[in-house]
Chain A
Amino acid sequence: MLDVSHVRKEFGKVRAVKDVSFHVDDGVTFGLIGPNGAGKTTIMRMILGILVPDGGSLTWNGKPVDSSMRRRCGYLPEERGLYGKMRVRDQIAFFGRLHGLVEPEIGKRTDAWIERLGIEQYADRPCSELSKGNQQKVQVASAAVHDPELLILDEPFTGLDPVNAEMLLGVLSELKAKGTSLILSSHQMWQMEELCSRFCIINGGENRVSGSLAELRASWPTRVLRVAPATPAVRAIVDRVPGATFVADNDGKLDYAVPSSTDFAAVLRAIVGTEAITSFEAIEPSLHDIYIHEAGRAVA
């Protein structure tokens, strides 16, 4: 288990990370979310042992994180880079060797990754000759060839077309099924929702919220009540709900923001008693909504 506790990091006068805490259980896929400049990359570098925190602690299975963490981790940084003149196969094998793999294991795993990612026809070509998407695949293979205990991926879907993004989702799901802990950072919230079971939203170098999506939703103060038909009678009933605010009329469906503590059953009963209702939904906030709210709150 990775435990990040009140870490902070400063670069001169810039406080990149002020106070961030979260933990990642074994085999969990964890979403580290935040706007640009929130401190995500600095936190990832501290987890990898590349940077030393100025305060707080990072432990992996109870032991402080140090440079030896590199062997157990795989990392796909946001800024991609490869040796342009090196062959695809050699590139993946090189990173395998750096993580302690030896022949014949390196060859087997390199071939397996090349096959899994569908880049067999490029295996003996220099990386510079590959498309951006295929280079991305080589980087994913380089990060994961040694079967890391913890794989950190910073914006892994950037540059991938929908087909390849789907393939990567499949690869990450396989790793998850094998028990690999994953830390993901992405601005594609629907993919994060699909992959991650726990999240931490940070901004300005500080925690905003963290937990499972259910926990995040539970702490969300409002819900969207969507109801139809949009008749004056229905509108009058919902307007009387304490804290309800009209948001929009969507093609004959009324959207209201209501407190999360609202007794939806009581509202439903009141409407059913006066009107022939065609639609009634209490919509939970999406990760996107929560993220936008938390990022905006911090900026404000």
Chain B
Amino acid sequence: MNTTLNDFVVVYSTEIARRIKSRPFQIGLILGLVGIFVFSELPGWVQHAAGASQKTIVLAGAPALTAPAKKLLAQDDFVVAATVEQSTAPTSAGLDRYHAASWLQVAQGPRGLKLTVYTKDPANVPSDRVKTDLIPLSLELASSMSQARIQSLLDAPITIKSVAAKFGSAAQATAAHGVASALLFFLYLLILINSQLVMSAVAEEKTSRIAELLVASVSPIPLLYGKIAAAATLGLMQMVIWVAEAAYLGSHAATTVTAAASGHASSGLGSLTGSVTTLEIVCFVLFFFLGFLQLATLFAGVGSLINRTEDLGSISLPLIVPVMAGFVISIAALDAPDVSWVVATSFVPLLAPFVMFARIAVSDVPLWQIGTSLIINAVALWGIAWMAGKLYRVGMLLYGRAPSLGQIWQVLRS
């Protein structure tokens, strides 16, 4: 094995071992797992908790009206705590007695059904849904049609067909948006967290003064890239673990929510499975590596210039801006993947890993555009690596005052 390769392998394997044992990595991995679980289950919990109180009602009015109304509301998961014949306004204690959020007074009016809702919190009354649920009863009262006839008229079939080849149905398109959003979020987190870990590791070596001993033992370039490769490997490992958890939770949620074919409540990651193409997986991995390597290399080069770990925050902020911009543009790209400025940014280094991936996930991006973006970003990576290598080589031995922009420029030109 030649010297450079040996150095790279030694640095790489040692970095992997060091970082797996490090608390930040372990905590980050666990927090990620917990976060995905919470993100997956939270909508269901919130909906359940909110729905339980908001959708528990008391129905008041003539039995001829409350009976069919109860049946219609039950189809929308409303819980009718009680039906009463009372026609006067209830008191707050009256609602408490039935543990209900609202008191729905139904009566026959000149234009069909007349509805009055008494509640302690008018802001949280699902009035539109109550109104929609009770349309059949209102129509029945206002016309001579039977309820069966009314139901059949209301259930007019609707078919949504996509004119783009990407998705065969509206459900597929919705699912793809969900998947793309989730994957973009993963991409953003992984690139940002792991790049900052590389920067911290470089800064730690410099501030702990082990840097000089290291560069006396191994060339700076295998040292730098050994570290970055180790971080990329661990990032990929994190990604596989997180995505596997998300996929499991998604499939689990999809199974339990399949019953809700009506398109109602769906878990946050319920749509993650079943709509990811091979191209998306390949592009996700490729753009993860490109984005991560670009940013991590840049972070490592700049991190070698600092003398105190306290300076990490201030020096990393300007570097995070393009990543945040890329993420924000990619969210916009999910809704407008073919707008000219979105297309243009899908070629720009540091932005492209997010924007191009978002476009691929929701539209048919021509292969030449994907290829061109990959080439541009690979070339940009080479340029960033060249620049960071120069900074790192000098920065790791530079102590005392932080270098001025002029000095940095001089280093890059040397």
A interface residue numbers (CB < 8 A to B): 12, 45, 48, 50-51, 67-68, 70-71, 73, 75-77, 79-86, 94-95, 97-100, 139, 142-143
Contacts and interface: CB of A to CB of B under 8 A. Distances in A.
29 contacts: A12-B407, A12-B410, A50-B397, A51-B397, A67-B219, A70-B217, A70-B218, A71-B3, A76-B213, A77-B209, A79-B209, A81-B209, A81-B212, A82-B210, A83-B18, A83-B208, A84-B208, A85-B18, A85-B22, A94-B10, A94-B14, A95-B213, A97-B10, A97-B14, A98-B10, A98-B214, A98-B217, A100-B6, A139-B213
A86 B18 contact: yes
A98 B208 contact: no
B216 A73 contact: yes
A81 B3 contact: no
Nearest to B223: A98
A75 B216 contact: yes
Given A12-B407, A70-B217, A79 B212 contact: yes
A198 to B, nearest CB: 23
B7 A98 contact: yes
8 A-B pairs closest in CB distance: A81-B209, A81-B210, A75-B216, A77-B212, A98-B217, A79-B209, A97-B10, A81-B208
B203 to A, nearest CB: 13
A75 B211 CA distance: 12
Most buried by B among A82, A98, A99: A98
B2 to A, nearest CB: 10
B215 interface: yes
Interface in B16-44: 18, 21-22
Given A82-B210, A83-B208, A83-B210, A70 B216 contact: yes
A76 B210 CA distance: 10
Interface of B: 3, 6-7, 10-11, 14, 18, 21-22, 205, 208-219, 397, 399, 407, 410
A77 B213 contact: yes
A76 B217 CA distance: 11
Contact of B3 (A68, A73, A76, A77): A68
A256 B168 CA distance: 106
A77 B211 CA distance: 10
Contact of B216 (A48, A82, A83, A100): A48
B94 to A, nearest CB: 65
Nearest to A142: B213
A95 B218 CA distance: 9
A82 B208 contact: yes
A75 B213 contact: yes
A81 B213 CA distance: 8
Contacts of A80: 209
A82 B18 CA distance: 13
B216 A50 contact: yes
Contacts of A50: 215-216, 397
A48 B6 CA distance: 18
Contacts of B214: 98
Nearest to A84: B208
Given A79-B399, A83-B208, 17 more contacts: A50-B216, A67-B219, A68-B3, A70-B217, A70-B219, A73-B216, A75-B212, A75-B213, A75-B216, A77-B212, A79-B212, A80-B209, A81-B208, A81-B213, A82-B208, A98-B7, A99-B217
A12 to B, nearest CB: 7
Contact of A45 (B6, B11, B14, B397): B397
Contacts of B7: 98
- Chain B CB count within 10 A is highest, among A70, A77, A81, for A81
Contacts of B22: 85
A51 B410 CA distance: 16
Contacts of B6: 100
B67 to A, nearest CB: 72
Nearest to B21: A85
B304 to A, nearest CB: 14
Contacts of B215: 50
Contacts of A51: 397
Contacts of A81: 205, 208-213
A75 B10 CA distance: 19
Contacts of B218: 70, 98
Contacts of A82: 208, 210
Contacts of B407: 12
Contacts of A95: 213, 217
B242 to A, nearest CB: 25
Nearest to A50: B215
A13 B3 CA distance: 35
Contacts of A100: 3, 6
A125 to B, nearest CB: 15
Contacts of A76: 213
A73 B218 CA distance: 11
Contacts of B3: 68, 71, 100
Nearest to A143: B213
A75 B22 CA distance: 28
Contacts of B217: 70, 75, 95, 98-99
Nearest to B22: A85
A67 B14 CA distance: 22
Nearest to B17: A90
A26 B6 CA distance: 28
A143 B214 CA distance: 10
A68 B217 CA distance: 10
A80 B410 CA distance: 29
B225 to A, nearest CB: 15
Nearest to B13: A97
A65 to B, nearest CB: 13
A77 B216 contact: yes
A67 to B, nearest CB: 5
A103 B21 CA distance: 22
A73 B10 CA distance: 18
B208 to A, nearest CB: 5
Nearest to A146: B217
Nearest to A86: B18
A67 B218 CA distance: 8
A36 to B, nearest CB: 13
A160 B397 CA distance: 25
Contacts of A94: 10, 14
Contacts of B216: 45, 48, 50, 70, 73, 75, 77
